[in-house]
Structure 1
Amino acid sequence: MTADEQPTVPTELDRAGREAVRELAEREPATLRAVSSYLEDLAGWKTQHDDETDVEADDGDPDAYPDGVPERATVSVTEIGDTEYTYYQWREGDEIRSRTDQR
């Protein structure tokens, strides 16, 4: 990349990440520097606390979802004691549905 070329969006990002990066591309340089600093701090924190944080599923492999859970569901994985649990949450109309499975 030369100094005159705009950086390209990383190909490793999922759909939400690409949308976030495209949105940020429209912001002022000072905002981008503040966000960059925050993201560096967040990445360092997540690296130290990786085993404690919930993991959200990416845009989803439908086979990864159990029967009755739509692929648009948000997925969190948490460990309590020595047991991992997968928590699914989604909206059906005005209601929020959820399901928890032991891994």
Structure 2
Amino acid sequence: MADDLTDSLRDSPIPPDELPDYLVDAIDRQDPDRLRLVSNYALSLAGWKERQAEQEVSEQAEQDPDEVPDEWDEDDWEAVKEEAVDKAGIASTKGTITTKTINGNDYYYLQWREGEKIKSQYISPVSPSSSE
């Protein structure tokens, strides 16, 4: 039993592969009190970022998922929206339509919540004439 305890004190926890080396190195150099501060801060920051993302989705949810955008023919819109719903693997009644601007171009996305995470699925450009 004493050997197990000694072994566990010798073996440092293994960091997740997803953490960059520079972050792991910086964390490893900290004493236990500072590590607890970092842990509390990281948890608070994660919660804040999740709330920010929720607020962004709420603010972007300008369009009722059943409403056809002015720029679109109803049949064309239903086809691209249904394709996005199929790719997302969600019920067609779930989610909201949002507009995102990327590199100066506007795009429609389907967004929904899965537990604590907000998921997105590309639908199309806002203007159907520039659709792919």
Normalising TM by the smaller chain, what interval? 0.3 to 0.5
The structure where helix makes up a greater share of residues is 2
Structure number with the bigger relative contact order (C-alpha 8 A, sep ≥ 6) is 2
The structure where strand makes up a greater share of residues is 1
| Higher-Rg member (1/2) | 2
